[in-house]
Structure 1
Amino acid sequence: MKDNELLAKWDSRHAEAESLGRVATVLEQNIHLATAGCRALDLACGRGANALFMATSGLEVTAWDLSPVAIGRLERAAGEQGLVINTAVRDVIAIPPEPRSFDLILVSFFLERSLAPVIAAALRPGGLLFYQTYSRVAVSDEGPSSEQFRLDDNELLTLFPTLKVRVYREERLLGDTRRGWRNMAMLVAQRV
């Protein structure tokens, strides 16, 4: 897909969406690991549910997305809530974060494997990576149809070998698949 087509696709999705999205489970369950006031990045932020959640949790938030429509919706919501979020329309693949620039990086429902070393390097010493996205083995068809944008078994653990794993969850098809946390993998890892 060409860059213009990709942008048009995401602008359309973000314009038509009824809500700002949902907060990533990895963030909701583990925000207590973040230090208040730390510099956080919501990478490929979409409409900004995660950025807003981090800002209300006392973090200094930066949010980047390719879609001007998504960034516009986030800016409006932040203004309505009286929150300060540093936003930018930014192609995170072409212009990734600088080394040692953030204390926390959140990646939710975005998978570009080639960025993994750059994301790890963008963490300051002691910094945390919060990552959540879809896995290939799933109990439903939720998520992207292309396997290119889904994780293989334990793949998320292998993408960030320089980071120390603090939290990991991937249930796959074990046990009662009607219960639990399915279709995804989550990771919290630290740069030591």
Structure 2
Amino acid sequence: MDPACTARPKPAAATPPSAWVRRWAALAPAGGTVLDVACGWGRHLRWFLDAGFAGTGVDRDTGMVDDLADRAEILRHDLEDGSPWPFAGRAFDVVVVTNYLHRPLFAALEQAVAPGGVLLYETFMRGNEAFGRPRNPDHLLGTGELLTAFPALQIVAFEQGKVETCGTGVVQRVACVRAAEPVGLV
């Protein structure tokens, strides 16, 4: 079984970052800034910090990343309570969102990507309800939804379908950049 699938109490250091995030992170400027949205255990934030990025993690419960407070900006913020986006006017070289969906944030996420930066998004889509959580349609992407969610960004890679990582699930993934010209694929 994939190590990322084991019981939740495991420390983030023992949970590897998503293969999708690892692959497409190469599009980001080395040593840039990263925003990990709904960061949870901070597995992606930790990985980027270890790679020399300056990091920011945001979640409504930051207890699982409090140990990073000396290495990163950690913000406790409920992204779904209707309060303003806490990063208005800021831009990051990498914006990472995994296993989280709140459609009202799409525009803010798009605006948070700096010129030359990358948005890496991976979460569940319809069809996942047959295999496990989440099952609520509000938390599941529609077919191809991420293809149109960030119109100001250039799509570099997209996938959707069934995966066998922690048992069977159905996911959608996109890697987009803020660039006027085509970028080299990794």
Q: Any stretches of 5+ residues in structure 1 without a counterpart?
A: 1-15
Specify the SS of the correspondent of 1:143.
Answer: coil
Matches of 2:49 and 2:29, distance apart in 1: 12
**Runs of 4+, deviation exceeding 6 Å:** none
**What is the correspondence of 1:33-182 to structure 2 with a 5 Å cutoff?**
33-67=27-61, 71-76=62-67, 78=68, 84-93=71-80, 94-96=83-85, 97-138=87-128, 141-172=131-162
Q: Which has the higher helix share?
A: 1
Query: What letter matches 1:74 in structure 2?
Result: V
Identical columns (%)? 24
Report how many aligned residue pairs link the two structures.
Answer: 165
Matches of 1:149 and 1:131, distance apart in 2: 14
> Residues 178 and 61 from structure 1, CA distance in 2 versus in 1: closer, same or farther, beyond 3 angstroms?
closer
* CA shift for structure 1 position 132: 0.4
Residue in 2 that maps onto 1:17: 8
* CA shift for structure 1 position 139: 8.7
* CA shift for structure 1 position 52: 0.5
Contact 1:163 1:189 in 2 (8 A): yes
Query: What letter matches 2:63 in structure 1?
Result: G
Q: Which has the higher strand share?
A: 2
TM-align CA RMSD: 2.5
* CA shift for structure 1 position 72: 2.4
Query: What letter matches 2:121 in structure 1?
Result: Y
Q: Any stretches of 5+ residues in structure 2 without a counterpart?
A: 1-6, 180-186
* CA shift for structure 1 position 185: 0.8
Q: TM-score, normalised by structure 2?
A: 0.78
Matches of 2:164 and 2:23, distance apart in 1: 21
Higher mean C-alpha displacement, 151-160 vs 87-96: 87-96
Contact 2:128 2:134 in 1 (8 A): no
Residue in 2 that maps onto 1:8: none
